[in-house]
């Protein structure tokens, strides 16, 4: 049996900060409304999906003490590739000197956790190391005159390196799903802007987060009280609050960065995970629940036992 463990991590955010006050100046909205309804105070905007992915990936490699040539596969979760063809992962592969395979993966905001599970599968089949990145430039597909979406979405990237290990590894339980009948609740046509039925996405997001998390916890054979840290998709603090309350996981054991990042889709979970690591909130042996939902509607969760020294 070959399992996998995370051995490196890194993030990248564009320099430009857009505050709620900046949005107040151009939209019929207010800092008070955005803060109360979403928890977001500011977000980062700029760069390219490949540029952010390369920066986050390079930091993850450095943290792991590895080079691009040590990586067998690069998986790039993104909804905002820089070009339609080729994959943005091929830019990352070239820039980081990776000799193995490269592909983009689009499961919207669930993309990072989808990628995490797929990376474990690749390693079980013989890959030694996988670089998994979530990177987005949602600002490019956001209509900055639409207050329904402009207050939420932003740019950023987060990456982890997974390495093969003898035994079962870190992954204790997982759940991946999708309900394509709800695909029109949140979408962007090619060349178009994000369109969203916010209220309905909100309702389904809470349910999908809770149901998927419960399935992963059950498969891992653990209870919510065993979870040392929950790392949910960073879309809206009220979604996180409602889901954690239903799961019975207190906010003190939940990672949040959305006040500073906004919703960065597939980058949001690694951004929150790495922030928790850097704040010393994660220790070897801790049980971590990662859970995301998004367009599709897709959902994904995983329970891992953290094995790295932080």
Annotated active-site positions, please?
109, 233, 263
If residue 274 lies in a helix (H) or strand (E), which one and from where to where? helix 268-278
Q: What is the CA radius of gyration of the chain?
A: 18
Looking only at residues 185 through 204 of this chain, which bind ligand UT7 when binding is defined by CB under 6 A? 186, 196, 198-199, 201-202
Closer to ligand UT7 by CB, 102 or 201: give it.
201
CA nearest neighbour of 141 among 194, 198, 190, 184: 194
Q: What does DSSP assign to residue 242?
A: H
Which of 263, 264, 266, 301 forms a contact with ligand UT7 (CB under 6 A)?
A: 263
Choice between 26 and 251, CB closer to ligand UT7: 26
- Give the Cα separation of 14 and 192 in Å (integer): 23
The neighbour count for residue 26, using CB atoms within 10 Å, is 11
Give the count of residues interacting with ligand UT7 (CB under 6 A).
20
Distance in Å, CB of 132 to ligand UT7, minimum: 19
Select 217 or 267, whichever has its Cβ closest to ligand UT7: 267
| Residue placing its CB nearer to ligand UT7 in the complex, 33 or 144 | 33
Give whichever of 189 and 199 is closer to ligand UT7, judged by the CB atom.
199
How far apart are CB 145 and ligand UT7 at their closest, in Å?
12
Q: Distance between CA atoms of 29 and 25, rounded to whole angstroms? A: 9
Residues 288-307 contacting ligand UT7, CB under 6 A: 294
Residue numbers 128-157 binding ligand UT7 by CB under 6 A = 147-148, 151
DSSP 142: S
Whole-angstrom distance, CA of residue 136 vs CA of residue 253: 26
Binding mask 34-63 for ligand UT7 (x = CB under 6 A): ---xx-------------------------
Tally the C-alpha atoms within 13 A of residue 130's C-alpha that lie toward its C-beta. Answer: 28
* Residues 297, 301, 302: CA angle, nearest 5 degrees: 160
**Within 223-252, which residues bind ligand UT7 (CB under 6 A)?**
235-236, 239
Among positions 22, 24, 33, 310, the unique one binding ligand UT7 when judged by CB under 6 A: 33
> For residues 209 and 175, is the Cβ–Cβ distance under 8 A?
no
- Rounded CA-CA distance 113/144 in Å is 28
Contact positions vs ligand UT7 (CB under 6 A): 29, 33, 37-38, 109, 147-148, 151, 186, 196, 198-199, 201-202, 205, 235-236, 239, 263, 294
């Amino acid at each position: 049996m070959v399992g996998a463990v995370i051995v490196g991590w890194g993030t990248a955010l564009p320099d430009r900060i857009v505050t709620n006050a900046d949005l107040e100046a151009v939209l019929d909205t207010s800092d008070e409304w955005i803060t109360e309804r979403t928890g977001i105070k500011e977000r980062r905007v700029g760069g390219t999906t490949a540029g952010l992915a390369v920066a986050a990936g390079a930091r993850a490699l450095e943290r792991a003490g590895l080079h691009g040539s040590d990586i067998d596969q690069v998986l790039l979760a993104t909804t905002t590739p820089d070009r339609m063809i080729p994959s943005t992962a091929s830019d990352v592969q070239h820039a980081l000197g990776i000799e193995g395979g490269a592909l983009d993966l689009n499961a919207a905001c669930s993309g990072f956790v989808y990628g995490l599970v797929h990376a474990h599968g690749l390693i079980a089949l013989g890959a030694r190391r996988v670089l998994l990145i979530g990177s987005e430039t949602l600002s490019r597909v956001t209509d900055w005159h639409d207050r329904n979406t402009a207050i939420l979405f932003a740019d950023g990237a987060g990456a982890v390196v997974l390495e093969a290990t003898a035994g079962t590894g870190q992954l204790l339980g997982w759940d991946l799903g999708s309900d394509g009948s709800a695909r029109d609740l949140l979408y962007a046509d090619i060349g178009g802007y994000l369109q969203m039925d916010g209220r309905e996405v909100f309702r389904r997001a809470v349910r999908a987060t809770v149901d998927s998390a419960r399935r992963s916890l059950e498969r891992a054979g653990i209870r919510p009280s065993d979870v040392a840290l929950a790392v949910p998709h960073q879309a809206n603090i009220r979604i996180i609050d409602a889901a954690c309350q239903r799961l019975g996981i207190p906010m003190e054991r939940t990672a949040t960065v959305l006040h500073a990042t906004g919703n960065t889709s597939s980058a949001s979970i690694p951004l929150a995970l790495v922030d928790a690591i850097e704040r010393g909130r994660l220790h070897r042996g801790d049980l971590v629940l990662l859970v995301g939902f998004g367009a599709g509607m897709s959902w994904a969760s995983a329970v891992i036992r953290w094995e790295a020294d932080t």
